[in-house]
Amino acid sequence: AQSVTQLGSHVSVSEGALVLLRCNYSSSVPPYLFWYVQYPNQGLQLLLKYTSAATLVKGINGFEAEFKKSETSFHLTKPSAHMSDAAEYFCAVTRAGTALIFGKGTTLSVSS
């Protein structure tokens, strides 16, 4: 069965520092993988997606993620954090082509 594990429920970085949010997946078939961002009391917004094309995926707001099949990982990175990046981030994987399964989320805090 497909599943997603996000390591670290809370990550804190300083403004200008590297952001690394970890996501590992389990899937018996080639997966589609997604990262979403959520600001307080709002819906989720798509950051980027992997759909079996290039393994390094670039998204909005300077974020990118690399699909590593050997490590079953899809970690999200950004070279330099900005205060506006503070939010909750969710990794998701497709489940048998019917729906998305989401991780429990990682809250990113950015300090000045």
Dist. CA 35–CA 48, nearest whole Å: 6
Query: In terms of DSSP bridges, do strands 64-68 and 44-50 run parallel, antiparallel, or are they unpaired?
Result: unpaired
Using CB under 8 A as the binding rule, whether residue 100 contacts other proteins is answered as yes
Quote the least distance from Cβ 25 to other proteins, whole Å: 14
Cβ burial of 17 (10 Å; 0-12, 13-18, 19+) is middle
Quote the least distance from Cβ 80 to other proteins, whole Å: 26
User: Which range binds other proteins by CB under 8 A, 22-30, 39-47, 61-69, 72-80?
Assistant: 39-47
With vertex at residue 64, the alpha carbon angle to CA 98 and CA 45, rounded to the nearest 5 degrees, is 50
Using CB under 8 A as the binding rule, whether residue 27 contacts other proteins is answered as no
Quote the least distance from Cβ 26 to other proteins, whole Å: 15
Binding residues (CB under 8 A) for other proteins: these are: 9, 32, 34, 36, 41-46, 49, 51, 90, 92, 94, 97-105
